[in-house]
Amino acid sequence: MPWLSITLELDAPQAEAFSEALMEAGAESVTLDPEGALMRVSVLAAENADGGALVAQAAGAAGMPVPAFSTARLADEDWVRRSQSQFGPIRISRALWIVPSWHEPPDAAATAVRLDPGLAFGTGGHVSTRLVLNYLEQSLRSGQCVLDYGCGSGILAIVAAKLGAAEVDAVDIDPQALAATAANANINGVRVRCAAPDALPAGNYDLVLANILAGPLIALQPLLAARARRGGCIALSGILETQAADVARAYAQDFDIAVAATDEGWALLAGTRR
């Protein structure tokens, strides 16, 4: 099916924040490519989407003026060709790679997650995703129960399962994201239970993950705190360093929480449920 393609250019910190806001506003896919001192932001949306309204909504959520942008129609086959030319294997660490289906894993001894760019956020290329993946490698213990809230492509849930989590639940408000997560989990040979937020069975988790945006994370604090068992852990990403204090303040009532890592202006908060 055809797509609406939206293209704009921003400086790197703005582009990172804006890409997150675009996904929250309803974009189907967002990619970032360096263009000299700027970053080109390439967006795919449904063919009948209002590009101006989507960009304006994302700008409001990111606290930015509405940037200049251009639109075009893109056929399915053009999207596939563009994806395969732009996306190669992504090295997360010495022991973890994210590998598209049209590439062979670069390191046979490392853990390889098979994941193609598609209609849900999370290919491993975004800084906020890499921060959580590094956290999982360092902190996840075999046999833990994990909740990935706002799962997108399912990358965090899948990596948690591959690293030894006993049970993994993935939640998203977008049915397309749930379908993508289920399909990607099947491709990678791991079991991930997918559910809409209101369909998630009662229960607590050893580890709660959420890579969203600062505003939604603050609003979700009561829900996520209720899902973390006492003594369990939480890891929050999608947060600019300038927003970290506000998010930490919201979670401090239930967690001993602090900035655990930063990269390129983004922060990961991690804490333990009291």
Residues in the chain: 274
Instruction: Report pLDDT for 120.
Output: 42
Same domain, 147 and 55: no
Mean pLDDT computed over 18-38: 79
Mean pLDDT of the chain: 86
Residue 118 lies in a domain: no
Same domain, 150 and 60: no
pLDDT in tens, 58-116: 999 888 899 999 998 876 655 545 555 556 677 788 778 877 776 777 777 778 887 76
Same domain, 74 and 135: no
DSSP, residue by residue, 164-200: T-SEEEEE-S-HHHHHHHHHHHHHTT---EEE-GGGS
Backbone region of residue 230 per phi and psi (left: phi > 0; alpha: psi in -120 to 50; beta: other values): beta
- Do residues 211 and 157 make contact, with C-beta atoms less than 8 angstroms apart? no
pLDDT in tens, 192-237: 999 999 999 999 999 999 998 888 999 999 999 999 999 999 999 9
| β-pair type (205-211, 228-240) | parallel
Residue 108 lies in a domain: no
pLDDT at 16 exceeding the cut of 90: no
Same domain, 47 and 134: no
SS3 236: strand
Residue 85 lies in a domain: no
The total number of structural domains that make up the chain: 2
Same domain, 160 and 264: yes
Instruction: Report pLDDT for 210.
Output: 97
* Cβ contacts of 83 within 8 Å, gap of 6 or more: 100, 116, 117
Share of the chain above pLDDT 70, in %: 90
SS3 225: helix
Residue 166 lies in a domain: yes
Instruction: Report pLDDT for 85.
Output: 52
Residue 93 lies in a domain: no
Same domain, 137 and 73: no
If one compares 122 and 168, the residue with the highest pLDDT of the two is: 168
Asked which of 45, 78, 111 is the last residue of a domain, the reply is 78
Asked which of 47, 78, 109 is the last residue of a domain, the reply is 78
Same domain, 146 and 235: yes
**Separation of alpha carbons 50 and 179, rounded Å:** 24
pLDDT at 119 exceeding the cut of 50: no
First to last CA, the chain: 49
Amino acid at 156: L
Same domain, 160 and 34: no
If one compares 229 and 152, the residue with the highest pLDDT of the two is: 229
Q: Which CATH number belongs to the domain containing residue 238 in this structure? A: 3.40.50.150
Residue 171 lies in a domain: yes
Domain that holds residue 199: 126-273
**Separation of alpha carbons 217 and 61, rounded Å:** 13
Query: Could you give the strand order of the β-sheet that contains 96-99, starting from the edge strand earlier in sequence?
Result: 90-93, 96-99, 111-114
Residue 36 lies in a domain: yes
Residue 172 lies in a domain: yes
Q: Which CATH number belongs to the domain containing residue 56 in this structure? A: 3.30.70.980
Among the listed residues 169, 175, 158, the one whose alpha carbon sits nearest the alpha carbon of residue 228: 169
65 φ, ψ (degrees, to nearest 5): -65, 155
